[in-house]
Amino acid sequence: MTNLLKQMKKRRIDLGLKQHDMMLRVGMSRQQYQRLESKGNPRLDTLELIAKGLKSELLLIPQEKLDAVITVLAEENPDLTSTRKSADGKKLLSDDPWQGLLGDEE
């Protein structure tokens, strides 16, 4: 769950949103969203609501299909392929699926 919460926070930041902005997007107070983002255990319907607020979709990707999904994403953004094959200790794309999608340099 921690990885998902980190991805939510990163996506929010990448969109230039503050926790307070989520009140208007998903209808929860800044305090509720802050608690959820830091150590929450959200219900599925709450995750779906937050995903929409972050202009995202929740997907359940079978482990055996993960490489195929990464390949498709890499075709749209060639930088993702080199990130996936990185052997210098950087995180793999599967660890951070937002990596490189929004033009960030990480």
Tell me the domain boundaries of the chain.
2-53, 63-95
Residue predicted with more confidence, 84 or 55: 55
CA–CA gap between residue 24 and residue 64 (Å, rounded): 38
The CATH class given to the 2-53 domain equals mainly alpha
Number of neighbouring beta carbons within 10 Å of residue 64: 7
Instruction: Determine what percent of the chain is predicted with pLDDT higher than 90.
Output: 25
Higher local confidence (pLDDT), 63 or 105: 63
Which of residues 94 and 44 earns the better pLDDT score? 44
The string of pLDDT tens digits covering residues 62-102 is 988 888 888 887 887 666 555 444 455 556 655 666 666 65
**First vs last Cα of the chain: how many Å apart?**
22
